[in-house]
Structure formats: structure tokens, C-alpha cells
Amino acid sequence: MSVFSKIQPQDKFIATFILKGIVLYLIWFLLYDNWLLKDGLVDHFLIEHLVYMTDFILSLFGYETFKYADAIGIDGTHGVLIGTPCNGLTVFAVFIGFILLFPGKIKHKLIFIPIGLIIIHVLNILRLVGLAIIVLHSPDSLEFNHKYTFTILIYSTVFLLWMLWIKKYATTK
């Protein structure tokens, strides 16, 4: 009788999940740091789209705006700078990684992942709209809201999407 025969099935699942997660993280790290970050095309595309959509929504609300390649704001303010850590790409990777690692039908993953990415991206746009409005009305609270309020909102949504995946679409033995 081997040592592994005494391990409970849920423990094997957890250990396998963690090991796969570490491998997937290393692949992401190598891919991002050695190719995507250096190339910058994906980051640039996301930031450009965030600026465009944030500008569009602020304009719908009647705000006069300004925009640069990586910044958006309401006239009369310093605006909001969108750096690569804030463009959502890492959150996308974490979300996708979890869905790929957790068991489930591939057809469900092919539907759930894009829907989840759209939800996360729309939330990021709304976060930027909120931050631009905060800069106008309460600039002293910008740092707090950027660092805590919107971070909690985004990651709570990702967590809820994961829970939805586990409850509705994941297959476990």
C-alpha cells in the first residue's frame, strides 16, 4: 500500500489544482514578461479601448472631456492615467486561469470565458468613469477609491463569476 493510496479524493483534487495553478502562473509570467509586456500591443490596445469607452460614457453624461493615449479626464481636472497594471489584463488572466483549471465542459468554457471577460472589461470602464467623476467632485478621495473601493468591486465580481462557474458549470466527481 503506497502513501498516495491513503490520500482522500478531495485532497488529490486540491493538490492537482494547486500544482496546475502554479504551472499556469509560470506560463503566464513567462509569456507576459518575455513577450506581451515587451511587445506592448495587448496592453496598448486595452488602454486605448478603455480611454475611448470612458470618454464615450462621460460624454453621454454631458461631461466635456480630454483624452490622451493613456489618460482620460473631465475638463478642469488632471484626469485619470491608465497604466498597464490597471488595464485589466492581469485580472483577465487570473479569471481565465481559474476557469481553465477547474473542471467543466469545454463548450461551457468557450462561452463563459468571453462573457466573463466582457463583464470584467465593462466594470473596468465603469471604474474609470467613476474615478474621472471622483477627480472632479472629490479629488482627495481618488487614491482611496482607486486602491480599495474599485479593487474590491472588481475582485468581488471575479470571485462571484468563479462561484457561478463552480455552482452551474463545473463538473466534479
pLDDT tens for residues 113-164?
999 999 999 999 999 999 999 999 999 999 999 999 999 999 999 999 999 9
Please tell me the predicted confidence (pLDDT) of residue 123: 97
Count of C-beta atoms within a 10 Å radius of residue 160: 11
CA 145/CA 42 separation, integer angstroms: 26
The least confident of 12-21, 42-51, 158-167 is: 12-21
Distance CA(108)–CA(7), nearest Å, equals 30
DSSP string across 16-73? HHHHHHHHHHHHHHHHIIIIIHHH-HHHHHHHHHHHHHHHHHHHHTT--EEEETTEEE
Find how far residue 135's CA is from the centre of its chain: 23
Are 84 and 15 in contact, with CB atoms under 8 Å apart?
Answer: no
Strand partners, 17: none
Tens of pLDDT, residue by residue over 61-105, are: 999 999 999 999 999 999 999 998 899 988 998 899 999 988 899
- Say what the pLDDT of residue 9 is: 67
Tell me, what's the pLDDT at 72? 97
pLDDT > 90? residue 171:
no
Q: 12 pLDDT exceeds 80?
A: no
Cβ contact 70:83 at 8 Å = yes
The residue whose grid cell reads 472629490 is 138
Chain segment 14-34, per-residue pLDDT in tens: 777 788 778 877 877 777 677
Reported pTM: 0.84
